[in-house]
Amino acid sequence: MITKKKCLTIFFKDVIKEIKNLFYGLVVLGLVIISIFWTFNMNIIDELHNKLIFYPSKEFYSSPEVDGIPYEEVFIKTPDKQTLHGYFFPAVIDGIKPVSCNKVVLYLHGNGQNVSTWYMAAAELQANIPVNILLVDYRGYGKSTGFPSINGVNIDAHSMYQYLVQRGFNPENISIYGRSIGGAIGLELAGRERIKSIVVQSSFSSLKDIAKEVYPILPDFLIKNNSWNSIETIKILKCPVLISHGDKDDMIPVHHAYKLYDAANEPKKLVILNSADHNDLSSCFTSEYFNALKELFL
């Protein structure tokens, strides 16, 4: 016979069991909610980064052909199945005469426009230095497919580098010229691959540093600390480094150049362009600047 006491004991055991099951269920539900919220939050942060950093254009304004510049149109596949479009400029002297050269510069452009405007910057380098140059749009820019993101453009730069290696260039003959965010992308690439040298032109010490300066009210949790931390990356490089910046740059202040230079290993060189702002550099280039580039590239 089941006594009243035994009935109560069985009842409370069942109640305790149900409470435990409910507790475990709530814990699992809580973890699922946190996971969903965290993923959603990270997606928002990634999207915010992309909107604040990248300003791609699909419109084409001109081409090297219009200016009589020798070039080859190239399309590069990335590991995540994007197609990048750009130009390969063979080394020339006097603007048009082909010259044999086994050195090449990977030109990583800034965050706006596309190769239809940036090719003139590459042409200006070639007018002073007879070296091959590869200029390619990141994903989402110009004729390149996809949408730009920090991780995506890092993959793009690596794909450009691999294209040059597959084309027959020795890694020790590949230099990087990174302009603005291209400097951060270039440093990321140089930290993972063998290169001849790198030029960091008008770039920042870290994404977090420049974000706090441009958007001072932006909460810290919205800035990924591990994204383009150039001042840490540059410390591990062993190749020659040139840091250059305009002293009137009001977009990325010149103190970023000094911080990068101080953190870099020897051999290194710092060239400050007098009266140059962030976008108008060419009128401020000097013979010292081009001589320094020539030493690095050739």
User: Is residue 236 located within the same domain as residue 127?
Assistant: yes
Residue 61 has a CB neighbour count (10 Å cut-off) of 10
End of a domain among 15, 35, 53? 53
Tell me the H-state helices in the chain: 4-53, 115-128, 150-166, 181-190, 207-214, 230-233, 255-263, 287-297
User: Is residue 21 located within the same domain as residue 160?
Assistant: no
User: Is residue 267 located within the same domain as residue 125?
Assistant: yes
SS3 state at 220: helix
Domain boundaries, position 36? 1-53
Measured between alpha carbons, how far is 62 from 250 in angstroms, rounded to an integer? Answer: 28
User: Is residue 7 located within the same domain as residue 61?
Assistant: no
Q: What pTM, to 2 d.p., does this model score?
A: 0.85
In a structure prediction context, what are the per-residue pLDDT tens digits for the chain, which is 298 residues long?
Answer: 555 554 445 444 454 545 445 444 444 444 444 444 444 444 555 665 676 789 999 999 999 999 999 999 999 999 999 999 999 999 998 777 889 999 999 999 999 999 999 999 999 999 999 999 999 999 999 999 999 999 999 999 999 999 999 999 999 999 999 999 999 999 999 999 999 999 999 999 998 898 888 878 766 666 665 689 999 999 999 999 999 999 999 999 999 999 999 999 999 999 999 999 999 899 999 999 999 999 999 9
User: Is residue 64 located within the same domain as residue 142?
Assistant: yes
User: Is residue 201 located within the same domain as residue 275?
Assistant: yes
User: Is residue 159 located within the same domain as residue 235?
Assistant: yes
User: Is residue 141 located within the same domain as residue 203?
Assistant: yes
Q: The domain spanning residue 119 has which CATH number?
A: 3.40.50.1820
Planar angle of CA 206, 212, 217, nearest 5 degrees: 160
User: Is residue 119 located within the same domain as residue 133?
Assistant: yes
User: Is residue 141 located within the same domain as residue 281?
Assistant: yes
pLDDT confidence of residue 78: 98
pLDDT confidence of residue 41: 45
Planar angle of CA 294, 297, 298, nearest 5 degrees: 75
CB 178 within 8 A of CB 109: no
| Half-sphere CA count of 62, side-chain side, radius 13 A | 10
Measured between alpha carbons, how far is 172 from 81 in angstroms, rounded to an integer? Answer: 28
Measured between alpha carbons, how far is 54 from 11 in angstroms, rounded to an integer? Answer: 64
Number of domains the chain is built from: 2
Q: Give residue for tokens 């919205």.
A: 222
User: Is residue 272 located within the same domain as residue 215?
Assistant: yes
User: Is residue 146 located within the same domain as residue 268?
Assistant: yes
